[in-house]
């Protein structure tokens, strides 16, 4: 194996990393915001809204990301009459796809918070919105950090599919470089290392944050909540898990 031609062209590969990061960050914002809205719809008392949200989640979780992006890029302009550039299509497409996964993560986290804590907050004179903001969401966030981190890692890797839309992100640059030097094994090996460098710190950060919140969760509970809720009701003696 000869990696010298790939190393010589490393700046060309790295030029695609900037776009990979940009697409991933943009898609992540879309997924986090829209995923929360879908989760709220999934938990709504309004049945049609629950049905639509459930269908959205099932559709995007059950079909390949590759087909979804191709459909967004080619079919959506035909149906809507609006032409969208490939970078925007990849960003919005990946965001909407991953929103379905994040919606289930949010919903699972909210449902994992004991119902007794909501009742305790209401008994102290809080409104439903205050209970959600001060009791349920802080604990749900701690619970969903690990799966959200995994979702971010998956999102960065899925951004490679944008190369099929002629977006010159990392994978597209790798394909172009391989066409020039004809060394696919070496090119893909280097690209795999670059993706590892991009994603592995995210995994470490998620693990660190989860451990930090787990250990400090009990200390950060409001004093009135510790008095009202029986000891151990919030994630056990070590805090939220």
72-111 residue pLDDT tens: 888 888 888 888 889 999 999 999 999 999 999 988 888 8
CATH number for 176: 1.10.3720.10
Mean pLDDT of 54-77: 90
pLDDT computed for residue 216 by the predictor:
61
pTM: 0.80
Total domain count, the chain: 1
234 assigned to some structural domain: no
Residue from 161, 169, 171, 167 nearest 68 by CA: 161
pLDDT computed for residue 235 by the predictor:
42
Q: What does the mean pLDDT of the chain come to?
A: 83
pLDDT computed for residue 192 by the predictor:
93
Residue from 204, 169, 170, 165 nearest 188 by CA: 170
Range of the domain at 197: 4-228
pLDDT computed for residue 97 by the predictor:
93
32 assigned to some structural domain: yes
Which tokens hold the place of 113?
């918070």
Q: What percent of the chain has pLDDT over 70?
A: 88
pLDDT computed for residue 140 by the predictor:
80
Cβ-proximal residues to 88 (8 Å cutoff; 6+ apart), any chain: none
- Torsion angle, alpha carbons of 78, 79, 85, 87, to 10: -130
238 assigned to some structural domain: no
* pLDDT tens per residue, range 175-208: 999 888 888 899 999 999 999 999 999 888 878 8
240 assigned to some structural domain: no
Packed helices 86-112 and 137-158: angle between N→C axes, nearest 10 degrees: 150
182 assigned to some structural domain: yes
233 assigned to some structural domain: no
Whether the per-residue pLDDT at 44 is higher than 50: the answer is yes
> What's the CA gap between 23 and 164, in Å, rounded?
14
pLDDT computed for residue 215 by the predictor:
61
* pLDDT tens per residue, range 138-159: 778 777 888 888 889 999 999 9
């Amino acid at each position: 194996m000869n990696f010298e031609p790939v190393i010589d062209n490393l700046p060309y590969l790295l030029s695609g990393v900037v776009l990979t990061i940009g697409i991933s960050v943009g898609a992540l914002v879309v997924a986090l915001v829209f995923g929360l809205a879908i989760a709220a719809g999934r938990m709504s008392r309004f049945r049609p809204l629950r049905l639509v949200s459930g269908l959205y989640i099932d559709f995007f979780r059950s079909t390949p990301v590759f087909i979804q992006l191709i459909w967004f890029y080619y079919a959506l302009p035909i149906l809507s009459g609006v032409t969208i550039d490939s970078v925007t299509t990849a960003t919005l497409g990946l965001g909407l796809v991953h929103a379905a996964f994040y919606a289930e993560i949010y919903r699972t986290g909210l449902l994992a918070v004991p119902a007794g804590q909501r009742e305790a907050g209401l008994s102290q004179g809080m409104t439903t919105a205050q209970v959600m903001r001060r009791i349920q969401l802080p604990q749900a966030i701690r619970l969903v950090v690990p799966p959200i981190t995994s979702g971010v890692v998956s999102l960065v890797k899925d951004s490679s599919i944008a190369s099929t839309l002629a977006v010159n992100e990392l994978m597209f640059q790798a394909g172009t470089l391989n066409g020039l030097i004809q060394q696919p094994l070496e090119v893909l090996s280097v690209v795999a290392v670059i993706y590892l460098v991009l994603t592995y710190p995210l995994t470490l950060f998620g693990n660190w944050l989860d451990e930090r919140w787990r250990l400090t969760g009990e200390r950060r509970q409001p004093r009135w909540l510790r008095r009202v809720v029986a000891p151990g009701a919030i994630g056990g003696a070590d805090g939220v898990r």
